[in-house]
A and B are shown apart, each in its own frame.
Chain A
């Protein structure tokens, strides 16, 4: 088995706000091995970004409380001081953010910003750092990197900026690359290129990737394992195959139904999940998806555990519904048109 890089056990993150305690992440666990891609999917406010930023130590603050463990190669990152985290950020864990338009500092040249990351972790002179920066830009597919290295961010297109961000995140050869919705702000053709790039670089740099998105379609390409998050919790977890071909959680069906697909009969309108995610301050009792779930019944008022309910080991979900019932009815949500046609 490949080296286990990251092990998150029952991670809980809460923030004290004026309105009350916000339980942004409530008991998330996963493991990540070298060479693997873990996808985290969920709506806005499901806690996926907070989870990712917590791994990097970016959510710390006077109002933040953490529980659980984030073991990186056996060391609990939650117990390391903020200045101690500086040796991990960038160096061991690299991160790419959602909006490449605002994530780069507008007043420094692209090359300066990447070289800054290299020089903060390794004792190299300016010239070496610059040479490595140019090489990195070449690897992420920036044409003509020798001259582009001296451009400012506003002289780059959105896709190129995200490539530059990836180059920056990979500049110190981190073992884990965390991509927090890296494609959300880009147009569709660029999205595909970025996903492909991340997947290729993961092999070149021999690292593991956590890919966060709200779009299941995006990670269908590259994820090995997928976690579906809802209201701060993991509601379903399994291999990509499990999630796409045998989804157990009505919330996952909703997500699947909202992706336009060419391999199914065309439907008039894509599925939408009614309602909005619950307030993280005032959580519904029992299953948190209950108020929006079309199949909710009496038992859903009790809290369902994250358990293996199907034949495939490792495929976990939080849903009380009978497996056979779900298999019979999920197509109505995932692909409404085809169910009637069949």
Chain B
């Protein structure tokens, strides 16, 4: 796990060094900088050292909570901490919505396979998968949040902390949640539909039917459980990515000051320390959730459990 994180950070560092315009000293110094200025900035930031040493120093600073931005000197760890409540609010709410509706939509679609409701769901799901989040978010703000001049059903972006006003928090989060969830609902629904249709032909489902169980019970206890296993993997990784600040577009579109928003700002400024922090933050969630997915697997499928 730690090796994975080290490797991720190293690759991020490499990419940053390689890209054009990557030398932060040049940009900080400004247009009228003298060569001496640049040298001194380089030295202050530690950029004149071997790049492996630079990388290692940055990691050390990050994990001791001392890493600061190249541009405004703000503490990276503190900035990420500030963004966590926003990002978690977005991720958890959207996660619940997309998992819940994904299962619902996939199940309905599979049970009525070939009928009108299945076709409608399939069409809507494909549209949902194909919609760019940025565009959808902007449309939602334009039409539903008062920008077109219509009565505003929802607030136009922004974030209210849960601890300050739970009702306003919920109200402000609805549009971002839905915007983020729509993509996943369509995708999960499609995957679950095909899983269910595969599972229905399993011998043990026939056995369940031969026992005289009701079709509802067969679906819930025997078919869904087996069909959900692959969905759990997907969910673990997708959810981890969003928790780790991966919902950059949604956060930017709705001006939610979360980790993804911070990442977007830092990318524009080519500010390496925050990027390093955000990337490792995200990678950590991926690694942790991969482990959680494995644990969930053992729960869902006893054959995987250790004897």
Contacts and interface: CB of A to CB of B under 8 A. Distances in A.
A296 B62 CA distance: 89
Contact of A90 (B206, B211, B217, B301): B211
Given A107-B225, A107-B301, A152-B302, A102 B211 contact: no
Interface in B235-282: none
A117 B217 CA distance: 11
Nearest to B300: A107
B214 interface: yes
Contact of A83 (B206, B215, B226): B215
Interface in A103-126: 103-108, 116-117, 120-121
A58 B302 contact: no
A106 B301 CA distance: 7
Dominant secondary structure at the B interface? helix
B211 A97 contact: no
A29 interface: no
A82 B222 CA distance: 18
Contact of A89 (B203, B204, B210, B301): B210
A10 B225 CA distance: 40
B284 to A, nearest CB: 31
B31 interface: no
B81 to A, nearest CB: 40
Given A106-B302, A152-B303, A154-B302, A91 B207 contact: no
B147 interface: no
A22 interface: no
B302 A107 contact: yes
A56 interface: yes
Q: Which of B212, B221, B222, B301 has the most CB of A within 10 A?
A: B212
Contacts of A169: 210
A104 B215 CA distance: 17
B207 A56 contact: no
A49 to B, nearest CB: 11
Nearest to A105: B204
Interface of A: 56, 58, 82-83, 85-91, 94-95, 97, 99, 102-108, 116-117, 120-121, 152, 154, 165, 168-169, 172
Given A105-B208, A116-B211, 7 more contacts: A94-B210, A104-B207, A106-B303, A117-B212, A120-B217, A152-B302, A168-B207
